[in-house]
Amino acid sequence: MRDKIKVGIIICDRYHTCAGGKCLRAFHNREGAFSIYKEDQELELVGYTTCDGCPGGNIEYAPQEMVKNGAQVIHLATGMIVGYPPCPYLTYFRDFIQEKYGIKVVIGTHPIPQKYFLTHTKLGTWKSPEWEEILRPTLCDERTR
């Protein structure tokens, strides 16, 4: 029997009308931050919602619902990384969810699109060791971006 990993995704509210195409494609293809899962592990999406806008009111409650649905890990969507500006609460959300709900949190979903990579590189947004760590799961190579 294959291992099944149940996943929740929280997106930035700026993108509340997003249909989730990039996140779901990456989820099914094991790309970006979903590349951490082994091919023999079945992935099941058990929740998908927004943070509810700054400062993330839904962060307090949505993970609880996802955990009730069996979530073993929650991904904070790539949109929180690439938005202009990136989410200022990103690492706080990660730390809060992990502490309050005892669940693993991964920053990122789909690979970072090239257009965002180029703009943030020019702006110097991601020039720090902390950002290097945050970007690692979703940066990928230029062809994938």
Domain that holds residue 115: 3-139
As a whole number of angstroms, the distance between CA 27 and CA 74 comes to 12
Query: Per the structure, how many domains does the chain have?
Result: 1
The DSSP call for residue 43 is: E
Contact predicate 32/139, CB 8 Å: no
Contact predicate 37/28, CB 8 Å: no
The predicted pLDDT at position 87 comes to 97
Domain harbouring 124, CATH code? 3.40.50
Residue 144 lies in a domain: no
SS3 86: coil
Q: What are 114-137's pLDDT values in tens digits? A: 999 999 999 999 999 999 999 999
Residue 73 lies in a domain: yes
pTM of the model as a whole: 0.94
Residue 23 lies in a domain: yes
Residue 99 lies in a domain: yes
